Amino acid sequence: MDFLKGAKEFARNPLGIIALFISLIYGFASLLLDSAAEKLTVAERWPLILFIVVFPIMVLVTFYKLVTKHHGKLYAPGDFQDDKSFLRTLSPEEQEVRLEKEVKESFGQVKSGQDNAFVTAKQGDADRSDQEDRERRKEEHRRFKEELEKIETSVIDSIAAEYGVKAERNVGIDGTDANFDAFLQANEGRFTFIEVKMLRSPGPAMMMLDRLLYNAVVADKFFESRFKLVLAVVYSFEDSELERVERFWRRKLSNCPANIELRFIPKSEVEIA
């Protein structure tokens, strides 16, 4: 009975299951050798002896690879008293790279042909020097980056206040490539994250969506389907275009196994300090 209770505790996470499996195999081999040693011939004893000697070495090598390469997969969420044990704050360099990537995705979306504001401005400057054109684009890039940071802060604060908890900004899930704008632990038994995206035009933004869905799938698998993502899309185009854009985004998200709550917010309603 005590063994069954112990086995139940072991089976709560991948590490326990591995330990239980190893203990059973090694225990049976030792028991067999001990109880039947006198009845076995020398040729029959040698395989058991070799197994008992070599098996621990194989286990040691295997555990070394697991711990050094896949340590994040050895534990279940219930093993951690603090849910934030799964999280790591992105370094300033990682945050900068992430923000730059989002800015480029937004500008790339505009260049795809859906919103001609940027392209028209570029064509209008055709008579200027290349240096002036680069400076203008660089300044526009900088202003949009600052605006995006302020929008993300405002939207995250608003959603955190709605949930009644404090948001932790720029977080990644330890042992994976998944990272998000913010994390908040709600009272739903889920690990809730926030991601804010900026749409300057009603274009598809495929690159933006693909990266987002990849992160969501990785996180959902890591948290054993207890993951939730609040995706806030701030748009600056006409409301008449919203229905088509929202239909496209929801169709893409419907194919994702992760729990994603999609919200579209007009830029005019975002309070920027």
Predicted pLDDT at 82:
47
Q: Where are the domains of the chain?
A: 2-75, 83-269
- Model pLDDT for residues 86-122, shown as the tens digit of each residue: 788 888 888 988 888 888 877 665 444 444 444 444 4
What φ, ψ does residue 272 adopt, rounded to 5°? -105, 125
Contact residues for 181 (Cβ-Cβ < 8 A; gap 6+): 152, 156, 169, 170, 193, 194, 195, 196
199 close to 177: Cβ distance less than 8 angstroms: no
Q: Compute the average pLDDT of residues 224-246.
A: 91
C-alpha 242/C-alpha 233 separation (Å) is 11
Could you tell me how many helices (H) and strands (E) the chain has, helices first?
Answer: 8, 6
Residue that wins the pLDDT comparison between 258 and 74: 258
C-alpha 176/C-alpha 108 separation (Å) is 27
